Amino acid sequence: MQSAMEPVPLGDAGVELTHSFNLRPFWMPFTSNRAFKQKPRLISSASGHYYFTPDGRRLFDSFSGLWTTGLGHCHPKIVEAVQKQVARLDYSMAFQVSHPGAFELAEKVVDIAPGGFDHCFFVNSGSEAVDTALKIAIAYHRAKGEGTRTRIIGRERGYHGVNFGGMSVGGMPANRKMFNGSLLPNVTHLAHTHLPEKNAFTRGQPVHGAHLADELERFVTFYDASNIAAAIVEPVAGSAGVLVPPVGYLEKLREICTRHGILLIFDEVITGFGRVGAAFASERFNVKPDIITVAKGITNGVIPMGAVLVGREIHDAFMNGPEHLVEFFHGYTYSGHPVATAAGLAALDAYREVGAFARARSLEQSFEDAIHALRDAPHVADIRNFGLMGCVELAPRPDEPGARGMEAHVKCFEAGLVVRNGMDNISFSPFLNSTPDEFVQTFDTLRCVLKTVN
């Protein structure tokens, strides 16, 4: 039955925001700048599950930052580790010199990764992780004497960041449109797995769609396996609005890749570090890729960092030349930055201490029940969820796609709830240490907001 109650205020509603600085110079990323600057939504501090505005309003964060901050904001142990590290060693040269924290974190990350992943290359973001992974895949084949393997298979609606590699293998038309002539040449996209006519309102993995992985086999026939380096997918597509892999789909991709010597890359920038109730989605789905990319949760979002994980087979293929020479001509000034590694070490400790991944798993059912309770709310066209990832898809307003989602976002903010909308998809990434009550309140608030949305 539809709840008639008013939204339970998770945060404080109301008050206009104040600011005393010039809004013009900062060109904001992935933001409707002109609309924002007419009516800015500013956050000036955070604690636990809440943000605070400059004028003191408290807002509940339903998105754990931007899929980043599963342990909650300003986690005291991570804050302390960062403060200590920045005063002890702010930066040290990243090439031909290093510092202990980078080795310690690499070891801890591979410890919680699926068996066989025993090397970790540090970068500073998800986009860098993806471009690094693509370069590793292509260089690996070449090192093995298969230099013709250069084609990469991506997927429609995939999001792999915004650098040229990730954008090229990604499948977001709006992100690609402006750069069409400059994208990587040897890329082919699998069909996306969003089949609302068959799978709408599925709880967890949809039943229909495993056959879509067979397209990879067609690409092998068409291009020949000797020309294909890798296939890259998000195990659960996040930015596209939580597209959950159909039952059997990832297994099929794995089987086809193995049969044809194609590397399978799982982009776990969102799904890593507990988001799907396990350390990694590959563990949760029991499908092991050859390369894993991570970012976001590796430091609980506190300091920018990403990483690429590979096994010995791939790593060792690079280790053939003279020992005094660089083996892989790739890296960033800030690869393994001391402050980022300190944040990463503290985050990994915190995940372990509170059993965060198991805790996330134990919350899945109540999250699923709470989000699917919105099924009969106004404008709702589909609801999808897996682990602690969820999406409420709104029917677009005729001739104005995205406007309804944006209105819902703004009205939620005014009602004390920060949500993420990508066009008309409202996505949720609750904290790994949420309470079931927070889920209920979040979706009650959204229901009330949707009643006022045109």
The nearer residue to ligand PXG, 69 or 127, going by C-beta atoms, is 127
Find, among 277, 306, 279, the residue nearest to 293 by Cα.
306
Interatomic CA distance for residues 232 and 210, integer angstroms: 16
Query: Considering the rule CB under 6 A, would residue 122 count as an interface residue with ligand PXG?
Result: no
User: What is the distance between the alpha carbons of residues 213 and 155, in angstroms, rounded to a whole number?
Assistant: 10
269 binds ligand PXG (CB under 6 A): yes
Among 276, 295, 309, 389, binds ligand PXG (CB under 6 A): 295
Shortest distance, CB of residue 125 to ligand PXG, whole angstroms? 4
Span near ligand PXG by CB under 6 A; candidates 154-162, 356-364, 365-373, 399-407: 154-162
Among 216, 264, 270, 291, binds ligand PXG (CB under 6 A): 270
Residues 6+ apart with CB under 8 A from 276: 235, 236, 284, 360, 386, 387, 388, 389
- Tell whether residue 159 is a contact of ligand PXG (CB under 6 A): yes
User: Nearest residue to ligand PXG, using CB?
Assistant: 126
Among 99, 149, 155, 420, binds ligand PXG (CB under 6 A): 420
φ, ψ for residue 378 (rounded to 5)?
Answer: -55, 140
Site for ligand PXG in 385-414 (CB under 6 A): none
Q: Report how far residue 296's alpha carbon sits from residue 273's, in angstroms, rounded to the nearest whole number.
A: 9
Amino acid of residue 160? H
Query: Least distance in Å: CB of 280 to ligand PXG?
Result: 13
CB of 66 to ligand PXG, least distance (A): 6
Q: Which of 386, 113, 123 is nearest to 273 (CA)?
A: 113
**Cα distance between residue 267 and residue 264, in whole Å:** 10
Q: How far apart are the first and last CA of the chain?
A: 22
Cα–Cα dist 246/231, whole Å: 17
In the stretch 64-93, what mask flags binding to ligand PXG with x, by CB under 6 A? Answer: --xx--------------------------
Nearest to 416 by CA among 441, 433, 437: 441
Binding residue for ligand PXG, selected from 64, 69, 127, 150, defined by CB under 6 A: 127
In angstroms, the CA 408 to CA 443 distance is 12
Give the interface segment with ligand PXG, choosing from 90-98, 134-142, 201-209, 231-239 (CB under 6 A): 231-239
Figure out which of the listed residues 81, 82, 102, 130 binds ligand PXG, where binding follows CB under 6 A. 130
Residue 323: CB minimum distance to ligand PXG, A: 33
Examine residue 209 and tell whether it contacts ligand PXG (CB under 6 A).
Answer: no
Which span (18-26, 121-129, 382-390, 441-449) binds ligand PXG, by CB under 6 A? 121-129
Spatial CA neighbour of 138 closest among 318, 258, 299, 14 = 318
Distance CA 75, CA 65 (A): 13
- Interacting residue with ligand PXG among 65, 72, 165, 238 (CB under 6 A): 238
Instruction: Report in angstroms the alpha-carbon separations of 108 from 27, 102, 278.
Output: 37, 10, 15
Q: Could you tell me the two tokens for 359?
A: 């805790």
Question: Smaller CB distance to ligand PXG: residue 67 or 280?
Answer: 67
Residues that bind ligand PXG (CB under 6 A): 66-67, 125-127, 130, 159-161, 234, 238-239, 267, 269-270, 295, 420, 422, 427
